[in-house]
């Protein structure tokens, strides 16, 4: 059985869950469930690879009269159990970090992770996620570092002070790993790295932030309209390489009918991300019938480039996820930009802005750190030459 058939079956199965579609009655499955152990193994492998294993398990185990093979039922229960345990671990870590930062007077916003699971699916344990995304003011990042150290976290990579300063200027996150490897924190201070040039004003995110209840505790997070725009930018940056990215966005749209779509559209246009918005709309309407405004859905359906990109992104879900090369990713990023100035800005900053990979590959003393800006284009050309050689 082909991967595309399993994908059709999987998306149809996910639409059985009311939290994903907003429907009280499930629709019929597009294809019958697998019948052999080999088909079941392929189907569940795909669900796990696309990060929707817990969602698929919740639907299959809840179906009345479903004659699941014992081995399949056992694997589904294991997926559920592991996801619930992971959610509890991350939730407890969130509370630890939040309490310590409050004590130090450092404001934070929490987003994605288990909060997105609740916002999209109504259940903390239904997302497969392995890190905590915590948003702080740029000026507070280095204040947070010793707080996390006291909680048993260390930076994933060791940076010198001048490299940390560059990280804060040009990147958007600083990753910390708990000493036992059981938890990870992505500390963020702006929505996207400089090269991606996605104009979501950071201060506006703070000004519009809201308090919500998560499992009985209050956490601060992005306003829903900002969250939708962030998820669109995040999906575009990662070329929508996982089905769960679309499923979660669709779930948020279904569960929150009061979204301010004119404001979301206006913000996307201002950021030069109108085509990103149209691609996302096409994906969530085609695969999860998300209730976006009719005029917006029609505009997405009539944009031939958005339709082609959405179809291309959807086809990759049927395969085992393979990271795109830097240059393949760049091509997709540029296709999702409608303005030439954004394409040129993207290419310029990507070409000249050194990353942590550059610093670690060629450590330089502080007085020569500027030389990374000269080495970066040559390093990229070397990468491109190796890709062309290996693909020949």
Q: Do the Cβ atoms of 1 and 31 come closer than 8 Å?
A: no
Helix residue spans in 171-260 (DSSP H): 202-207, 224-237, 243-255
Q: Which of 21-35, 137-151, 153-167, 290-304 has the lowest mean pLDDT?
A: 21-35
Using CA atoms, how far apart are residues 80 and 77, in angstroms rounded to an integer? 5
Indicate the domain borders of the chain.
Answer: 3-329, 330-391
pLDDT for 262: 97
pLDDT for 67: 79
CA 220 from centre of chain: 19
Mean pLDDT to the nearest integer, 239-266: 95
Q: How far is CA 315 from CA 54, 65, 158, 218, 328, in A?
A: 22, 32, 38, 39, 16
The residues, any chain, with a CB within 8 Å of residue 166's CB and separated by 6 or more, are 354, 359, 369
Helix residue spans in 15-160 (DSSP H): 18-21, 37-49, 53-62, 70-103, 113-121, 141-150
Task: Judge if pTM exceeds 0.85.
Answer: yes
Exposed, middle or buried by CB within 10 Å (0-12, 13-18, 19+), for 252?
buried
pLDDT for 141: 97
Q: Do the Cβ atoms of 106 and 147 come closer than 8 Å?
A: yes
How many other CB atoms are there within 10 angstroms of residue 289's CB atom?
17
**CA torsion through residues 342, 266, 224, 83, sign:** negative
Question: Pick from 244, 234, 235, 232: which is nearest to 7 by CA?
Answer: 244
pLDDT for 23: 59
The mean pLDDT of the chain is 90
E strand segments, 72-221: 109-111, 132-135, 153-155, 173-178, 184-188, 210-214, 217-221
pLDDT for 322: 76
Query: Given a cut of 90, is residue 50 above it in pLDDT?
Result: yes
Q: Do the Cβ atoms of 331 and 297 come closer than 8 Å?
A: no
CA 91 from centre of chain: 18
> 210 - beta bridge partners?
221
Q: Do the Cβ atoms of 290 and 253 come closer than 8 Å?
A: yes
Query: Given a cut of 90, is residue 20 above it in pLDDT?
Result: no
Query: Given a cut of 70, is residue 389 above it in pLDDT?
Result: no
Using CA atoms, how far apart are residues 55 and 201, in angstroms rounded to an integer? 33
Q: What tokens were used for 380?
A: 């990229």
pLDDT for 3: 79
pLDDT for 326: 80
Mean pLDDT to the nearest integer, 264-281: 95
Query: Given a cut of 90, is residue 362 above it in pLDDT?
Result: no
47 confidence band (pLDDT: 50, 70, 90): very high
Comparing 194 with 211, the larger pLDDT belongs to: 211
Using CA atoms, how far apart are residues 180 and 251, in angstroms rounded to an integer? 33
Q: What is the DSSP string of 362-387?
A: S---GGGGGGHHHHHHHHHHHHHHHH
- The DSSP code for 54 is H
392 confidence band (pLDDT: 50, 70, 90): very low
Q: Do the Cβ atoms of 328 and 228 come closer than 8 Å?
A: no
CATH architecture label of 3-329: 2-Layer Sandwich (3.30)
């Amino acid at each position: 059985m082909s991967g595309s058939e399993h994908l059709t079956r999987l998306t149809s199965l996910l639409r059985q869950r009311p939290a994903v579609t907003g429907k009280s009655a499930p629709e019929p499955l597009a294809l019958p469930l697998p019948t052999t152990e080999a088909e079941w193994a392929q189907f569940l492998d795909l669900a796990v690879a696309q990060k929707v294993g817990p969602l698929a398990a919740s639907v299959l185990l809840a179906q009345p009269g479903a004659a699941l093979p014992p081995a399949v039922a056992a694997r589904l229960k294991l997926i559920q159990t592991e996801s619930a345990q992971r959610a509890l671990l991350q939730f407890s870590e969130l509370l630890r970090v939040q309490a310590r930062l409050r004590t130090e007077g450092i404001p934070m916003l929490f987003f994605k992770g288990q909060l997105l699971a609740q916002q999209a699916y109504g259940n903390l344990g239904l997302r497969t996620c392995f890190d905590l995304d915590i948003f702080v003011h740029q000026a507070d990042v280095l204040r947070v570092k010793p707080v996390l150290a006291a909680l048993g976290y260390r930076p994933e990579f060791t940076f010198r002070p001048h490299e940390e300063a560059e990280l804060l200027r040009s990147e958007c996150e600083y990753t910390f790993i708990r000493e036992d490897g059981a938890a990870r924190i992505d500390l963020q201070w702006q929505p996207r790295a400089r090269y991606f040039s996605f104009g979501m004003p950071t201060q506006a995110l703070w000004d519009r932030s809201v308090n919500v209840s998560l499992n009985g505790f209050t956490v601060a997070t992005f306003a829903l309209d900002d969250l939708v725009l962030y998820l669109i930018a995040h999906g575009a940056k990662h070329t929508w390489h996982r089905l769960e990215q679309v499923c979660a966005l669709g779930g948020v749209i279904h569960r929150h009918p009061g979204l301010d779509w004119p404001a979301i559209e206006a913000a996307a246009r201002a950021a030069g991300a109108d085509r990103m918005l149209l691609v996302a709309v096409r994906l969530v309407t085609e695969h999860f019938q998300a209730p976006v405004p009719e005029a917006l859905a029609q505009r997405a359906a009539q944009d031939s480039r958005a339709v082609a990109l959405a179809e291309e992104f959807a086809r990759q879900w049927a395969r085992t996820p393979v990271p795109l090369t830097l240059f393949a990713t760049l091509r997709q990023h540029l296709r999702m930009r409608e303005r030439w100035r954004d394409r040129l800005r993207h290419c310029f900053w990507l070409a000249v802005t050194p990353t942590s990979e550059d610093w670690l590959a060629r450590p330089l003393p502080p007085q020569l750190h500027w030389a990374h800006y000269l080495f970066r284009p040559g390093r990229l050309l070397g990468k491109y030459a190796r890709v062309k050689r290996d693909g020949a």
